Amino acid sequence: MPLFAQEGFKGVTTKELAATAGVSEALLYRHFPSKEALYEEVQDHCCQTNSELKELFAALTPSTETLVSLLFFQAKVVVEKINLDSGREEMFPRLMVQSLLHDGVFSRLFVERAAMRYASMMEASLDAARASGDIVITGMPDDLSFWFCHHLFVSMRLHRLPSTQVVPYSVSNDELIEQFLRFMLRAIGMTDAAIQRHCKFKDLNHKASHWVASTNQGMSNGKQ
């Protein structure tokens, strides 16, 4: 994974892959008939939905509260660089960039495997928020609302990949997360009254921290 993430599919040789794995090229080919086959396995592994998060999200009920919580959680994970998958999270955006710069196969696989599941809950919550009067009718299809928010998360994540900060934000991470959330909520048409009612950041932080802890605990138990 680190080799493909740093150098891309074309930049990695089977000799490098074998050396990194501590095996001979002959043994590598015994398990994978080609570099393409090995890369497909890497893609498949990276696009598997985190089972703990999947269970947490499956238990949610579509609502304005759920919509706000999901967006806040994603903003917190991106801004604070929270690792939810023992190293895979760190390499994932680099693999996405390599894919987007070439054939896009890995990126499409991620969209089909993981992003669409998240999209369905967000779209259902958008519908529930609209029905309760918390979101005004903007004329924007719900799937576009999801993807535009997704693109914002991706952009923020890419800008925060380097260890040295790229964008000199003038606020703390906590303030950045709050403003990021408010920006998205206004963009999808949430009313100021609803934002004020649902953006209780102490409660949102507590919930997000619980989701992170539950995910990491589930991963630790799985490894044990």
How many domains does the structure of the chain reveal?
2
pTM, full prediction: 0.82
Residues 28 and 132 in one domain: no
Least confident of 28-32, 40-44, 66-70, 162-166: 40-44
Residues 94 and 165 in one domain: yes
Torsion of CA 34, 97, 115, 81, to 10 degrees: 120
Residues 19 and 130 in one domain: no
For 132, the token pair is 């309760």
- pLDDT the model gives residue 218: 52
Higher pLDDT: 187 or 39? It is: 187
Contact status, residue 71 vs residue 204, Cβ threshold 8 Å: no
Over the chain, what is the mean pLDDT?
A: 86
Residues 32 and 86 in one domain: no
Question: Residue 191: exposed, middle, or buried by beta-carbon count in 10 A (0-12, 13-18, 19+)?
Answer: middle
Residues 102 and 56 in one domain: yes
Beta bridge partners of 190: 135
Range of the domain at 18: 1-46
Residues 98 and 40 in one domain: no
SS (H, E, C) 81-103: CCCCCCCHHHHHHHHHHHHHHCC
